[in-house]
Structure 1
Amino acid sequence: MTDPTPLTSLSSALADVVARAAPSVVSVHSHRARSTGFVWKSGLIITADEALADEGEVRIGLPDGSTVAATVAGRDHTTDIALLRADTSIAPVRLTRTVPALGALSVVVATTRDAPSAALGMVSVSGQGWRSLRGGEIDARIELDVRLRSSQEGGLALEASGEAFGMAVLGPRRVLVIPTATIERVAAQLETRGRIARGYLGLGLQPLRLDDGIGAMVMNVDKAGPAAAAGIRQGDVIVAVNDQKLSGVRALLRTLGPASVGRVVDVAVRRGGEPTSFRVTIGERPEA
């Protein structure tokens, strides 16, 4: 028998990595959509929120070919994480908080047509945390040079050692990984509360260009909201928060993440052209 070559050794190692992860990976069927998920805790499955239909029943395709009903325990569109509950005895996957190095090999273990599938690629970006276009805090910027089908979205991203470092999702023109730190932070809140707390001022704002910068005109005020309680009125123009000049309405709204709830901020406004300020305790956004 000939000695194994480096390529055959690599092939065998990758096949073993996939075989160990595949039993914890499931397919997710929602209205006119199929994606992938993985067992995070007993009876709890993580999948990509963007790949999950907004309504209709959800079923989970198990590795043995059977399916079970699932319910949505919670979802957060800002981080693309959804949590499902299903009656399964599948062992949870072990996630690592390690962020892979640039250039490291990565395997995405997912499902295609309800069967296990795998894709091999490389970590093309490995960097610091970032904020999604929807305002979600993502703990590390990880991109993979790999091609995935839509049904593979929500699959496990593994290092060559077999450790799972996050969930693969389809971003604009690239495959992104939602890292373990983000998954564990968000999923824990979804498990206990069913939603993610977001900051709330209780204001409807309109961008306004000023001679010395950008402001946000208050178009309407929630009478029961934090800003109204502090004294802010319709027609006021917000120009700064905590002595930081406003760079835009969207930038202001992006600061109202989970960590902002309960924080007291100094809001500088112009009322009838005259400067004044208010101390506002940021509330929690009510459910729609």
Structure 2
Amino acid sequence: MSDPSALTSLSSALAATVAAAAPSVVSVHSHRSRASGFVWKPGLVVTADEALADEGEVMLAFADGATRPAVIVGRDHTTDVALLRYDGKEVPAAPLVGNAPPLGALAVLVAADQGTPVAALAMVAKSAGSWRSLRGGDIDARIELDTRLRHSSEGGLVLDAEGRAIGMAVRGPRRTLVIPAATIERVAARLETHGRIARGYLGAGLQPVRLDDGLGAMVMSIDKNGPAAAAGLRQGDVITSLNGEPFRGMRALMRELGPGSVGAAVDVAALRGGEPMKLTLTIGERPA
């Protein structure tokens, strides 16, 4: 027979882990959206950008029943990290740790629903290296949990078996994804200081077109003060490659226009009136 005391000990340990983290977790109400978040620093809450409404006021509900209005400090669609600021209440911050959990490890999700703490137990279904999101964000580790995520739990804290906060839970295409601590620290710090994450900017409206030997991007519009115009691109030109790599679609292009791309010089191959041409374009910073 199994030892019932072992199960009791595990249950008690899980309950204690959740209780320790719960005061740092908040409900985030924005327009018709309900999500979770956690206190990253005094007066600052991290939540999931995707779960945050695009307009309207933001309210925070804390575990003790208190509510506070919040303002959006900044948000980064590419990494799903948003930063909120509130005043007038002292709440313990949740210290983040950078260690990715091993495959098969237990994880605990602590979130909030209408201010009430909620919890779920999960297993790490995938733990791999860094990756780039479809929107072009650099994520420091690929962590997936074998659990479905309630809408109100998106933005909640994910804890490892030792009770350490390793990241934020967000909705993935099939499983719950974890935005790891290293990504949150990097992006939130930038949002706190600058209010935004720099993104690359070509200064041209592009439309994918089918060519005989693949895809191209037709220049549909030009920002007369943007990088494309400065490089000599014109409306009607068709971009065929960047730095020798064939154009593979708009999603692939957007992934390449991350923060590290600003200021980089790119060799552009294009067609003008069916004739090949080459030019060099220096990527700018996307206007706010």
TM-score normalised according to structure 2 size: 0.94
Question: Does the alignment pair 1:61 with 2:87?
Answer: no
- What code does the residue aligned with 1:107 have? V
1:156–1:168 CA contact under 8 A, matched in 2: yes
Could you give the per-residue CA deviations for residues 182-204 of structure 1, whole angstroms, max 9, x where no partner exists? 11121112111211111000111
> 1:247 corresponds to which residue?
248
Name the SS of the counterpart of 1:38 in structure 2: strand
> 2:96 corresponds to which residue?
95
Question: Does the alignment pair 1:208 with 2:209?
Answer: yes
C-alpha distance in structure 1 between counterparts of 2:153 and 2:253, whole Å: 35
C-alpha distance in structure 2 between counterparts of 1:53 and 1:205, whole Å: 28
Name the SS of the counterpart of 1:14 in structure 2: helix
Q: Which runs of 4+ in 1 moved over 4 A?
A: none
> 2:228 corresponds to which residue?
227
C-alpha change, 1:148 and 1:270, in structure 2 (3 Å) is: closer
2:135–2:251 CA contact under 8 A, matched in 1: no
Q: Matches of residues 157-176 of structure 1 in structure 2 within 5 Å?
A: 157-176=158-177
C-alpha distance in structure 1 between counterparts of 2:138 and 2:72, whole Å: 22
C-alpha distance in structure 1 between counterparts of 2:150 and 2:235, whole Å: 48
1:138–1:179 CA contact under 8 A, matched in 2: yes
C-alpha distance in structure 1 between counterparts of 2:250 and 2:52, whole Å: 29
Deviation at 1:128, TM superposition (A): 2.1
C-alpha distance in structure 2 between counterparts of 1:249 and 1:133, whole Å: 10
Name the SS of the counterpart of 1:93 in structure 2: coil
1:119–1:148 CA contact under 8 A, matched in 2: no
> 2:239 corresponds to which residue?
238
Unaligned runs of 5+ in 1: none
CA-atom RMSD in angstroms: 1.5
> 2:48 corresponds to which residue?
48
- What code does the residue aligned with 2:264 have? R
Q: Matches of residues 175-190 of structure 1 in structure 2 within 5 Å?
A: 175-190=176-191
> 2:278 corresponds to which residue?
277
Deviation at 1:250, TM superposition (A): 2.8
Deviation at 1:132, TM superposition (A): 2.2
1:107–1:158 CA contact under 8 A, matched in 2: yes
Name the SS of the counterpart of 2:266 in structure 1: strand
- What code does the residue aligned with 1:121 have? A
Deviation at 1:163, TM superposition (A): 0.9
> 2:32 corresponds to which residue?
32
C-alpha distance in structure 1 between counterparts of 2:39 and 2:19, whole Å: 15
Question: Does the alignment pair 1:113 with 2:114?
Answer: yes
Q: Higher mean Cα deviation, 104-113 or 24-33?
A: 24-33
C-alpha distance in structure 1 between counterparts of 2:162 and 2:189, whole Å: 26
Deviation at 1:4, TM superposition (A): 6.7
C-alpha distance in structure 2 between counterparts of 1:247 and 1:174, whole Å: 27
Question: Does the alignment pair 1:153 with 2:154?
Answer: yes
> 1:256 corresponds to which residue?
257
Name the SS of the counterpart of 2:123 in structure 1: strand
- What code does the residue aligned with 1:83 have? L
Deviation at 1:167, TM superposition (A): 0.3
Name the SS of the counterpart of 1:97 in structure 2: coil
2:74–2:191 CA contact under 8 A, matched in 1: yes
C-alpha distance in structure 2 between counterparts of 1:63 and 1:250, whole Å: 40
- What code does the residue aligned with 2:25 have? V
- What code does the residue aligned with 2:187 have? V
2:158–2:165 CA contact under 8 A, matched in 1: yes
Q: Higher mean Cα deviation, 157-166 or 210-219?
A: 210-219
TM-score normalised according to structure 1 size: 0.94
